[in-house]
Amino acid sequence: MHTTRKIKEDLIYIGGSDRRLSRFENLFPIPRGVSYNSYVLLDEKTVLFDTADEAVGRLFFENLEYALDGRGLDYLVIHHMEPDHCVLLGEVLRRWPEVTLVGSAKALSMIQQFFAGAAPERTLAVSEGDKLSTGRHTLHFMMAPMVHWPEVMVTYDETDKVLFSADAFGTFGALSGNIFADEFDFDGAWMDDTRRYYANICGKYGAQVQVLLKKMAAVDVETVCPLHGPIWRDGMGLLLEKYQMWSACQPEEQSVLIVYGTMYGNTENAAAVLAARLADRGVRNIKLYDVSETDVSELVSESFRCSHLVLAAPTYNGGLHPKMEAFLNDLKALNLQNRTVALLENGTWAPAAARLMGAILGAMKNITVLENTVTFKSALAEGQAASMDMLADVISAQLACAAG
């Protein structure tokens, strides 16, 4: 039985969701699952926009055959060659050998890398601004390299004003019959996963996302069909606002994220003491996380949200707490910028954590490290209350100033 839904009169959603996969790309926990979106256009020529992951392969082909209703398949548009969107390509070629594959030159060159021996009879390499008429519809192709692979492109249907956006505007989370963002409380139920998806998948490529946003602004987009998550047909201003901030590396909120590494609870206690002092000064929505217990993808996402980060860590074997070091290296790799950071360090005999954290932060762009580092040995002492108060004063004053 099919699970298709109409997006437009002749545009059909044929994707599926995986609720069994525990980690996306075998890295990022996805307790709510993930969707793999694919679409069929039924014009004078039929068009399939991307395939899907093999986890939903049976459903995908049932939906595709139902949508085609006995018609052949004229075009398969490949927006992105990552396996969760192209792994079924070989089977599509076997079932519809007459299909023409449409994609960027780099995407078409990748086919042999994933499907050794696969030689589609017909391919059409497209470049920036190229167009393809399918009858009533005109498809306009725009290149989007490094959002988030080099071969990526997006397609704009000039007739129905639909943008097929590849991985841009995607999110973690399975779909449950409802496929449109306006069928959910998106801000409440989906925004955290959308931010986590953006920060960890596309976050490094903010400059390239900015280029895509400018290309989108030059055309009249009414509907956005991403490869993961809900389809946007109304009220996309909220998500565009978030993408502008995230891709420009601007904090989404003037708020504080405290991440600590702890061995016996003493560094955790210092982090909690600072959180309480910040709360006393009126700071709201403080987030406090144990770097050893919280998945790094969550910490990265929160770092994209917050304006101020507090990092608290002990010295470990003369170096930096390993989980804190890994977290900071992730932030560096994902090109986090424009943040203010405060440091707490613990070291029983030779504190080195602040210096080592500062070295990583110093290699990042536009990171301001506050001078009010608090150093304690083994455990925070009563005599250090003034230092904690001073740090809380500085952070709260900056937040109040930014709030106007």
What the chain holds in terms of domains, given with CATH numbers, is 5-247 (3.60.15.10), 253-403 (3.40.50.360)
Q: Which of 402, 306, 315, 403 is nearest to 351 (CA)?
A: 315
Q: How confident is the model at residue 143 (pLDDT cuts 50, 70, 90)?
A: very high
Instruction: Tell me what the mean pLDDT of segment 195-218 comes to.
Output: 97
The rounded mean pLDDT for the chain is 96
Q: Which of 229, 223, 226, 296 is nearest to 259 (CA)?
A: 296
Residue 116's pLDDT is: 75
Does the pLDDT of residue 117 top 80, yes or no? no
Instruction: Tell me what the mean pLDDT of segment 221-236 comes to.
Output: 95
Residue 385's pLDDT is: 93
CA gap 342, 375 in Å, rounded? 12
CA gap 206, 335 in Å, rounded? 8
- The answer, as to whether pTM is greater than 0.85, is yes
Read off the pLDDT of residues 73-89 as tens digits, 9 standing for 90 and up. 999 999 999 999 999 99
Residue 368's CB is within 10 A of a number of other CB atoms, namely 13
Q: Which of 23, 103, 33, 99 is nearest to 64 (CA)?
A: 99
CA gap 157, 132 in Å, rounded? 10
Does the pLDDT of residue 364 top 90, yes or no? yes
Does the pLDDT of residue 118 top 90, yes or no? no
Phi, psi angles (nearest 5°) of residue 333: -65, -35
Does the pLDDT of residue 50 top 90, yes or no? yes
Of the chain, the percentage scoring pLDDT greater than 70 comes to 99
Task: Give 52's DSSP letter.
Answer: -
Distances (CA, A) of 162 to 36, 130, 282: 18, 16, 45
